[in-house]
Amino acid sequence: NTELTQEWLQNYVDDWVRFYRKHTVDGELASYIPQLTKADPNALGVIIMGNNGMTIKSGDVDATFSIQSISKVFAFIVACMDRGVSYVLNRVDVEPTGHAFNSIIHLEMRKIEKPFNPLINAGAITVTSMLQGRTSDEKLEGIFQLLEKILGRRPELDVDVYESERESSIRNRGIGYFLLEAGVLESDLGITLETYFKQCSIKITVEDLAKLGLILANDGMDKTTGEEIIPRQIARLAKVLMLTCGMYDASGKFAAYVGVPAKSGVAGGIMASVPPRIREEVLPFMDGCGVGVYGPALDEQGNSVAGTRLLRHIASHWDFSIF
């Protein structure tokens, strides 16, 4: 009986959210972008959206927040769709760094002529420079169109976050100058950075993250309409990057303890993709699901502290790991 199952799963998730909300005190709001300190540090919410049509929502699911680094996945997808995968991968590598997302250490290593991966700031800014268009708004259009197709509405920019981000952008400008010197940028540095700050400021919800995660879980296919929204090869590559680099310098631990492709952002969002799994025993969401999490108190690596622990709990309880 589906209704009973739904209620039963809902009770579990409610309990877990209640428990892990207490863990938000172990983290801190990102303060290097001043506007992000306006969030409620104790917020925690999760939505699990299954291919079986079942959706579980728990906690602070009505909050809106900026997409931040999760946008890097979609900028990469759009760049690959516009320019071709090999074009993009000739300019940015697919190797994890083990360093912080905004690290400049590797940019100083002269032997390396391209950024390590599209999910650290250096690689993401390089990818953003490859987006089509002359102005930052033209460059953003491809990302907006892709998100609109998946979410069923055109998301908006959080102008306050965007301005805050631009005003506190010394590190990202520093990274930009390194990239300019290395000759990897395909567009004007100023326009590229404007585009990057705007893409990070797109306003989303936990439900949006679950929908986006679900499309990626299905290799780019919208299973309700049968439409291929992202070419399979590109969706798969995006998931490889999420698994190896998506949680910054905690990606190894996340793969070990959660075991699914995921991407976090410093506003506290996490998007996770759980592909369909074959199991002998019946488990919730074994047909695959997308998971959106929001919890703005962050750990040292810049990942939602309670959100990561909640995901770990759900993933181990329902055996989400792809391994």
Binding site for ligand GLN (CB under 6 A): 68-69, 101-102, 121, 165, 172, 200, 265-266, 302
Among residues 142 and 265, whose Cβ is nearest to ligand GLN? 265
Q: How many CA atoms lie less than 13 Å away from 232 in the CB half-sphere?
A: 3
Q: DSSP labels for 271-311?
A: EEEE-----SS--TTTT-EEEEEE---B-TTSSBHHHHHHH
Residue nearest to ligand GLN (CB): 69
What is the closest distance, in whole angstroms, from the C-beta atom of residue 179 to ligand GLN in the complex?
Answer: 13
Single-letter code of the amino acid located at 68: Q
Whole-number Å distance between alpha carbons of 217 and 230:
11
User: Annotated binding residue at 280?
Assistant: no
User: Annotated binding residue at 165?
Assistant: yes
Active site residues: 69, 72, 196, 248, 266
Helix axes 189-200, 71-83, angle to 10 degrees: 130
What is the closest distance, in whole angstroms, from the C-beta atom of residue 69 to ligand GLN in the complex?
Answer: 3
What is the closest distance, in whole angstroms, from the C-beta atom of residue 244 to ligand GLN in the complex?
Answer: 16
What is the closest distance, in whole angstroms, from the C-beta atom of residue 101 to ligand GLN in the complex?
Answer: 4
User: Annotated binding residue at 196?
Assistant: yes
Whole-number Å distance between alpha carbons of 262 and 260:
6
Among residues 129 and 172, whose Cβ is nearest to ligand GLN? 172
Q: Which is it for strands 45-50 and 289-294: parallel, antiparallel or unpaired?
A: antiparallel
CB atoms near residue 110 (< 10 Å): 7
User: Annotated binding residue at 248?
Assistant: yes
Q: Is the distance from CB of 109 to CB of 163 less than 8 angstroms?
A: no
Where residue 116 falls (left for φ over 0; alpha for ψ -120 to 50; beta otherwise) is alpha
- Two tokens at 65? 């927040």
User: Annotated binding residue at 12?
Assistant: no
Among residues 144 and 197, whose Cβ is nearest to ligand GLN? 197
Among residues 58 and 199, whose Cβ is nearest to ligand GLN? 199
Annotated binding-site members for substrate? 69, 121, 165, 172, 196, 248, 266
Annotated binding site: 69, 121, 165, 172, 196, 248, 266
